């Protein structure tokens, strides 16, 4: 078979992904092997592949591919999340574009449109993951609103309600006026914003005196039901029993006293608006104040406000400032920086709003999830997130689990016309339960709650229900074979920003319903940013389309590019040059393969000593680097594992090994390679392909099948990970000396402008007579001989490797002045280096705290530098 001059990633991707699927290499069923399981963080069903997905799913794929090679029964479960708010918004917009209003439809009619949209667009992101090479078990694909999954969500609601953990009540919630729904604290993004701090004058009743109160939200003034001061603030003690007039609406409200007010902040006077601030709400409850909701659900001013009715809240803000200025009721306006909450989904400014919602009490159910992380039953990687997790879990608030939407799992609560409530799945069950309270109850007098459950209330069950949707009603003892085999899963790869409202809640659900953790390790990726450090977004235009990158650089090139600089928990500063570097890496391997397959082989040829030495060295080097790579994997240092793999391939295999065994050219004709060296080289190449397969699966498979004829099922994707053999440290150490000799002699050739064809001699000053690598050095730098001498050698350029001196005799080619200049420069460098080492060793603080091996290394550096200085001074004396 003729080998293409350049690697074509598109052809390889089109050939091998269908091949892997055809042979079901990614399919997993329980067997006698040890499982290795990852459940995908389900992307929104509305989503398309972005750079964050690329990073997250590449890491998952690397882990699952390597686990498959290690002999585990590797199972990667894919799926999508129904994403209540985002999906409903998409469907509402689609309908609006068709001239259809959501309000003109019944719930069932709207849901038909939503399901139709989901069937048409919902699988796009999963198909895009195939382009990346994701080795998911696609037969296990789940959707959080599949009927069995939804049933499990309802089972949990009913169970937690019956346990007394779920309640319904009027509470202050984060209200999204654009999405027209409550959102949880974790779905609110706080941004620093420039706001106007308006100092408004409130007139004391029956007086010409005013109290000045500062607010950034003057549109809520109409909801004021008191003003509050600190009881210890002597400036206002005379106001006991007094009232003030609320501007705009001229409502009379009391002056109340409470320690909550900070007398040193601003004027020390607070406007109390119980319907629009959680702290004001608490003050209102304490002092039994009335509540006036000045805003409608859509963010317009309500009729209850009594002024500006129907006006948008921000338009009202501008107008009320203008009107108050005209009335002389504004003392001053300042520009300040403050944090404003925005909806993560719709980007609307959040309004604190009193609302009747369903809540889950979190304090009791959260404790096992906190203990799981603090006891390292669940490990967070990196560990820096443990304290953040601990703080959140120790200060957790009740979770608002209801959403004012139609797309999602409808809350299984039923209300009759007598004010009774029951919680159950069906209308028939509800009637049966209500008969004892209301004998006349009928389907016509029964109403189900209109709200749906928070999306996270379904996805917190993900690691459980993807394997057994009946786990909630059946319990762990009756769990199916899949759940018993695959659960707990091994690794979860996700983003730190959902540590609390997904990761923590999955641990809560796992502990509640199985007594077990849902996973062992949580690998937290960073945020993908551009090279200026900005978060990637459509609005900034700084987020490349991953599919465009794959088309340009190949899937393997992008996979390598994404992970070249992606340490766990730290943000990735993405630069497209990384993808180019990834593509160059794949081209390097392809060219190495072409070089090897281009060798002619002579079965009668004997193996030269130089090749034997190179083979021995690379066998040891491969084992050494595999130990390092395996260690990086075990510690989830993914970028380090990739970089060690990269260097093994680029430096050790391509630059040193292949250069060492490459046949000589005689009169422009490449000589044949001996069979032993050729076969060992192909075996090394196969090991290299196994090591790179998790990172560059398409390239590895393409070369694997071009090396020789194989069965269809003999694929590198399911090959065994290379075994580590005992390592000869002496061989590895000696080869490092070889590298320095080779690099130095090549530099001497370049400096002296000597032809590579001109044979040189290297003399080592020592008592030795022969080294295992002498023949290899001769080959790599074209030497006539590598010899040994106990004496100094004149008319030669000398250099040091460690404490050993080497000479390259040049006869008449040596320029004494140039050599003296070079040696003086080298002497200055070594004296400076020695001085820096001595400073360390003279520093008692360093010496007392340094580990013994660190001190030993510094002492060795000192001895080496002193030896080099002594040798250089002797050479200068000789010159």
Lowest mean pLDDT, pick from 119-128, 436-445, 839-848: 839-848
pLDDT of residue 122: 86
> Residue 568: its pLDDT value, please?
62
Average pLDDT over the chain reads 92
Please give the pLDDT value at position 569.
63
For residue 264, count other CB atoms closer than 10 A to its CB: 8
Q: How many residues does the chain have?
A: 879
What separation in angstroms does the CA of 136 have from each of 70, 132, 394? 17, 11, 36
Average pLDDT for 71-93: 94
Buried b (16+ CB within 10 A) or exposed e, 540-566: eebbbebbebbeebbbbbbbbbbbbbb
Confidence at residue 94, expressed as pLDDT on a 0 to 100 scale: 92
Would you put residue 704 in left (φ > 0), alpha (ψ -120 to 50) or beta?
alpha
Report phi then psi at 415, rounded to 5.
-125, 135
Structure tokens at 164: 């007394």
d(CA 490, CA 488): 7
Sign (positive or negative) of CA dihedral 193, 195, 197, 202: negative
- Quote the pTM value: 0.85
How far is the C-alpha of 55 from the C-alpha of 52, rounded, in Å? 5
Provide the pLDDT for residue 814.
Answer: 61
Instruction: Give pLDDT, residue 1.
Output: 63
Question: What is the arithmetic mean of pLDDT over 571-584?
Answer: 91
Confidence of residue 532 (pLDDT cuts 50, 70, 90): confident
DSSP-derived secondary structure for 42-109: PPBTT----HHHHHHHHHHHHHHHHHHHTT-EEEEE-EEB--HHHHHHHHHHHHHHTT--GGGS-HHH
pLDDT per residue as tens digits for the range 467-508: 999 999 999 999 999 999 999 999 999 999 899 989 999 999
Tell me which H or E stretch contains 551.
Answer: helix 546-553
- Residue 812 scores a pLDDT above 70: no
Please, which residues have CB within 8 angstroms of residue 780's CB and are 6 or more apart in sequence? 659, 660, 738, 742
Inter-CA distances, 452 with 82, 142, 215, 296, Å: 12, 20, 35, 21
User: What letter does residue 361 receive in the DSSP assignment?
Assistant: -
Q: How confident is the model at residue 147 (pLDDT cuts 50, 70, 90)?
A: very high
Task: Quote the pLDDT of residue 539.
Answer: 64
Residue 585 has pLDDT above 90, yes or no: yes
pLDDT score for 856? 80
- Which uninterrupted H or E stretch holds 236? none
pLDDT at 83 over 70: yes
Q: Which of 570-579, 655-664, 806-815, 837-846 has the lowest mean pLDDT?
A: 806-815
Q: Average pLDDT in the 275-293 region?
A: 94
Contact 383, 522 (CB under 8 A): no
SS3 string, 749-772, reads HHHHCCCCCCCEEEEEECCCCCCC
Percent share of the chain, pLDDT over 70: 98
Nearest CA to 227 out of 247, 254, 197, 252 is that of 254
* ∠ CA 453-456-461, rounded to 5°: 100
Between 33-37, 324-328, 441-445, 700-704, the lowest mean confidence (pLDDT) is in 441-445
| C-alpha to C-alpha distance for 766 and 791, rounded to whole angstroms | 8
Q: pLDDT digits over 747-777, tens only?
A: 888 888 888 888 999 999 998 878 889 999 9
């Amino acid at each position: 078979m003729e080998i293409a001059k350049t690697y074509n990633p598109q052809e390889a991707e089109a050939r091998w992904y269908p091949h892997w699927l055809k042979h079901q290499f990614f399919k997993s069923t329980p067997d006698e092997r040890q499982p290795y399981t990852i459940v995908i963080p389900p992307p929104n069903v509305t989503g398309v592949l972005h750079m964050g997905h690329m990073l997250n799913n590449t890491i998952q794929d690397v882990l699952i591919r390597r686990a498959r090679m290690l002999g585990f029964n590797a199972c990667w479960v894919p799926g999508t999340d129904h994403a209540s708010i985002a999906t409903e918004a998409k469907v509402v917009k689609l309908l609006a574009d068709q001239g259809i209003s959501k309000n003109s439809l019944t719930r069932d009619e709207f849901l038909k449109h939503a399901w139709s949209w989901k069937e048409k667009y919902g699988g796009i992101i999963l198909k895009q993951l195939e382009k990346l090479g994701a080795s998911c078990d696609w037969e296990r694909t789940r959707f959080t609103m599949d009927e069995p999954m939804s049933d499990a969500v309802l089972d949990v609601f009913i169970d937690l309600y019956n346990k007394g953990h779920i309640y319904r009540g009027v509470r202050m919630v984060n209200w999204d006026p654009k999405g027209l729904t409550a959102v949880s604290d974790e779905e609110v993004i706080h941004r620093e914003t420039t706001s106007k701090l308006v100092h408004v004058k409130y007139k004391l009743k029956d007086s010409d005196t005013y109290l000045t109160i500062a607010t950034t939200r003057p549109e809520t003034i109409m909801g004021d039901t008191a003003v509050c001061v600190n009881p210890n603030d002597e400036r206002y003690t005379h106001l006991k029993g007094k009232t003030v007039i609320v501007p705009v609406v001229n409502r009379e409200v009391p002056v109340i006293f409470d320690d909550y007010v900070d007398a040193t902040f601003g004027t020390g006077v607070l406007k109390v608006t119980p319907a629009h601030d959680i702290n004001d709400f608490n003050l209102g409850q304490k002092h039994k104040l009335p509540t006036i909701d000045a805003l409608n659900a859509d963010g317009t001013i309500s009729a209850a406000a009594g002024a500006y009715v129907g006006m948008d809240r921000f338009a009202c803000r501008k107008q009320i400032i203008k009107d108050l200025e005209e009335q002389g009721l504004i003392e001053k306006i300042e520009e300040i920086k403050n944090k404003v909450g925005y909806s993560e989904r719709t980007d609307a400014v959040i309004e604190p709003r009193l609302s009747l919602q369903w809540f889950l009490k979190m304090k009791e159910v959260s404790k096992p999830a906190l203990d799981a992380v603090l006891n390292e039953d669940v490990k967070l990687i990196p560990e820096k997130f443990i304290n953040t997790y601990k703080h959140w879990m120790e200060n957790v608030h009740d979770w608002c689990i209801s959403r004012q939407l139609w797309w999602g799992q409808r809350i299984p609560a039923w209300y009759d016309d007598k004010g009774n409530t029951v919680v159950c799945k069906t209308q028939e069950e509800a009637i049966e339960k209500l008969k004892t309270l209301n004998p006349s109850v009928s389907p016509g007098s029964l109403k189900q709650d209109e709200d749906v459950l928070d999306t996270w209330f379904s996805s917190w069950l993900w690691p459980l229900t993807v394997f057994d949707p009946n786990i909630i009603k059946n319990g762990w003892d009756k769990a199916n074979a899949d759940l018993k085999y695959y659960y707990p899963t091994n690794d979860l790869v996700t983003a730190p920003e959902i540590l609390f409202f997904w990761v923590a809640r999955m641990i809560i659900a796992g502990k509640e319903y199985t007594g077990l953790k849902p996973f062992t390790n949580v690998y937290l990726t960073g945020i993908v940013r551009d090279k200026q450090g900005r978060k990637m977004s459509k609005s900034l235009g700084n987020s490349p389309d991953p599919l465009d990158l794959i088309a340009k650089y190949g899937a393997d090139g992008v996979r390598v590019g994404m992970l070249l600089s992606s340490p766990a928990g730290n943000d990735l500063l993405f630069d497209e040059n990384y993808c180019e570097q990834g593509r160059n890496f794949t081209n390097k391997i392809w060219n190495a393969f072409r070089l090897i397959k281009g060798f002619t082989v002579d079965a009668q040829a004997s193996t030269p000593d130089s090749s034997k030495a190179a083979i021995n060295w690379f066998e040891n080097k491969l084992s050494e680097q595999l130990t390092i790579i395996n260690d990086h994997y075990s510690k989830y240092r993914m970028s380090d594992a990739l970089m060690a793999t990269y260097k093994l391939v680029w430096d050790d295999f391509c630059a040193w090994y292949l250069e060492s065994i490459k046949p000589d050219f005689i009169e422009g004709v490449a000589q044949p390679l001996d069979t032993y060296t050729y076969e060992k080289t192909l075996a090394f190449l196969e090991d290299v392909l196994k090591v790179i397969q998790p990172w560059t699966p398409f390239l590895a498979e393409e070369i694997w099948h071009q090396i020789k004829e194989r069965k269809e099922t003999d694929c590198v994707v399911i090959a065994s990970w290379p075994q580590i053999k005992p390592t000869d440290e002496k061989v590895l150490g000696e080869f490092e000396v070889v590298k320095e000799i080779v690099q130095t002699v090549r530099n001497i050739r370049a400096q002296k402008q000597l032809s590579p064809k001109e044979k040189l001699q290297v003399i080592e000053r020592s008592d030795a007579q022969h080294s295992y690598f002498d023949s290899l050095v001769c080959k790599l730098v074209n030497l006539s001989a590598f010899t040994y001498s106990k004496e100094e050698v004149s008319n030669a350029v000398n250099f040091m490797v460690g404490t050993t001196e080497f000479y390259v005799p040049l006869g008449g080619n040596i320029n004494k002045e140039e050599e003296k200049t070079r040696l003086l420069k080298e002497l200055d460098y070594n004296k400076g280096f020695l001085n820096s080492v001595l400073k360390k060793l003279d520093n008692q603080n360093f010496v007392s705290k340094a580990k013994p091996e660190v001190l030993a290394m510094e002492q060795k550096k000192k001895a080496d530098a002193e030896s080099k200085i002594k040798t250089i001074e002797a050479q200068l004396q000789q010159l």
